[in-house]
Amino acid sequence: MNSIRFYRIYDIGMEIDLNLLETVFANKYVTSRARFRRIRPKSIIMDTPPLLLNLEQISVVKEGITYDMSMVAKILDVGAVSLCIILELNRKDPGYLSDTAMLFPDQEDLSVYFNNSLGRLNEIISGNIPDFNVEEDFYEDYTIYTTEKLEDGFDPVQLLLCEKTDFSDQFREDTLRNVLSYSQDDLVIISWDGALIVSPETPDDILDLIEYANVQVFELRYYDRELINRIEKMYDDIGHADRMSWFGRMYRYHGIMVTTMEMYADLYEIIEKVNNLIKVTEDVYYAKVYETALREFRISQWSGSVTRKIDVLRENYSMLSDEVRIQHSYFLEWIIILLIAFEFGFALWQYMIK
């Protein structure tokens, strides 16, 4: 069966206790844990399986036709929420899949459904977890198309780009540079904005791998932005401290050092967890799909950017530590000088009164 899956991934800004959330949602939604289905359990290692919620059914009217869709949510312990609107088509020909995809370029007209579901989740969770909040305007969107087989004349480039254009050979080659296949009957094409999966069976595991690769890269994007904001605040705090008196400046420097170290430890831990979200150990094909998705989504660039900013935090902490230590040494030197002067003055006073 043909299907289209529209994904939007959001960040919570904190790690989540999924066991607690599972209890919270149990009375309102059908909950379960997302797991890989068609492989041995040890082939793909995911320390904490995401919490899977079956949300409401929705209907979208396009050109006089009503499309019934379902929505599911996955909540990951690293602090990500992945919403997916699933449109299953009752016709199997890829041409119909392509024509339907053209009705939803850039996930057109679906934002209201994503925002409504996100708002309901936010309301339920925030009542049980303090400081829980999801920023609805910062997200990653992605679309995955599935079909059972391809037909002669079908153009996957037009489908992936949702555009009926006679693309150049160079552009086609660039779009189709990530083509993977395990057998004669299946095919996976991964591009920047979307993916096409051709399989006679429901490719649940491939869908999950591409989704989790998106989550992993989006989390790095989120923390890259967070690091920019926190580094700017740190520089503002240092600038403010420099305008204070000597004692006030040293006290403020110490406070900035404590905050910076706590920030460094927290971010380093969560980023390590993001980088190790999934470990594909035994299945060579699934490992290739996952690595190809990460490469296409430019994980190395985001990971390098985050690493450089963490290094900036560490270097600033070292510089502040050196400055505090130097100023502390100066302070002790002045104390010693004053004590010597006091002792000399006291001795001179005793000599004079004799």
Query: Tens digits of per-residue pLDDT, 7-53?
Result: 999 988 778 888 888 887 777 777 788 877 766 656 777 788 898 88
Percent of the chain beyond pLDDT 90?
A: 25
User: Are residues 274 and 327 located together in one domain of the fold?
Assistant: yes
Q: Residue 249 falls within a domain, yes or no?
A: yes
Q: What is the pLDDT of residues 274-286, one digit of tens each?
A: 888 888 777 788 8
Q: What is the pLDDT of residue 144?
A: 96
Mean pLDDT calculated for residue range 167-190 = 90
Contact 124, 182 (CB under 8 A): no
What does pLDDT average to over the chain? Answer: 84
User: Are residues 167 and 234 located together in one domain of the fold?
Assistant: no
Q: Residue 207 falls within a domain, yes or no?
A: no
User: What's the pTM?
Assistant: 0.86
Domain count of the fold of the chain: 2
Among candidate residues 156, 173, 202, the one where a domain is terminated:
202
Q: What is the pLDDT of residue 153?
A: 80
Q: What range defines the domain where residue 243 resides?
A: 213-350
Mean pLDDT calculated for residue range 78-101 = 88
User: Are residues 23 and 98 located together in one domain of the fold?
Assistant: yes
User: Are residues 140 and 235 located together in one domain of the fold?
Assistant: no
Contact 249, 299 (CB under 8 A): no
Rg (CA), the chain: 28
Contact 34, 74 (CB under 8 A): yes
User: Are residues 241 and 284 located together in one domain of the fold?
Assistant: yes
Mean pLDDT calculated for residue range 247-261 = 74
Among candidate residues 167, 202, 237, the one where a domain is terminated:
202
CA distance 186 to 38: 15
Percent of the chain beyond pLDDT 70?
A: 94
Label the pairing between strands 279-280 and 44-45. antiparallel
Q: What is the pLDDT of residue 86?
A: 95
* Residues 69-108 as b or e (16 or more Cβ within 10 Å = b): bebbbbbbbbbbbbbbbebebeeeebeebbebbebbeebe
CA distance 84 to 74: 8
Contact 168, 44 (CB under 8 A): no
User: Are residues 147 and 103 located together in one domain of the fold?
Assistant: yes
